[in-house]
Amino acid sequence: MEKILIATILRPQGLNGELKCKLENQNHEMIKDVNEVYLNDKQVPTKVIAKKYRNGYLYLQLSMCNTREKAELMRNFKVYANRANISIPDDEYMISDLINMNVVSQDGLLIGKLVDVQNFGAGDILIIEQYKREYMVPFVRDIVKKIDGCTNTITVDKTKYDEAKICD
């Protein structure tokens, strides 16, 4: 079973152990089927009693947390879910699925390998290793033309890739 980071607990909300969480992905629909979560490095799941989305935050009520005092102890905990319970829309991807994909030009020539995806606020940046150097390229439709999980490739417009790449 693969666990995916879905949120970080920020603070208690109210008196009954509800937790205010920052979502890792702003698309809260992805976790609509998540009914149990894992906290930090725990291997035993915790049942989700209730979840709400309000003003860009996830509010969780967990079975093992029913007081504000217990919730206080959970600040900064990482919240993970079983990947099988996460719904990924067709036009979105899990970063873990993209890492180590080959980056190729539209004519099929190998450019490099995707080693990381970062976000510095304005949008996602692909970190591509090419000839033992790392380059940063914006993750935008003008550059990234196709992602194919079957062939493990990311196809880019080579001209726009060359114009946009910045040496790390």
What would the pLDDT profile of 94-142 be if each residue is shown by its tens digit?
Answer: 887 899 999 999 999 999 999 999 887 778 899 999 888 999 999 999 9
Count of structural domains within the chain: 2
Q: Is residue 90 part of a domain?
A: no
- Return the CATH number at 77: 2.40.30.60
pLDDT, the chain, mean: 90
Identify the domain boundary among 85, 106, 129: 85
Q: Is residue 66 part of a domain?
A: yes
Residues 11 and 51 in one domain: yes
Q: Is pLDDT of 77 > 80?
A: yes
What is the domain extent for residue 114? 95-167
Mean pLDDT of all residues in 64-79: 95
- Name the pTM for this structure: 0.70
Residues 73 and 114 in one domain: no
Weakest-pLDDT range from 69-78, 89-98, 113-122: 89-98
Phi-psi map region of 123: left, alpha, beta (phi>0 left; psi -120 to 50 alpha): left
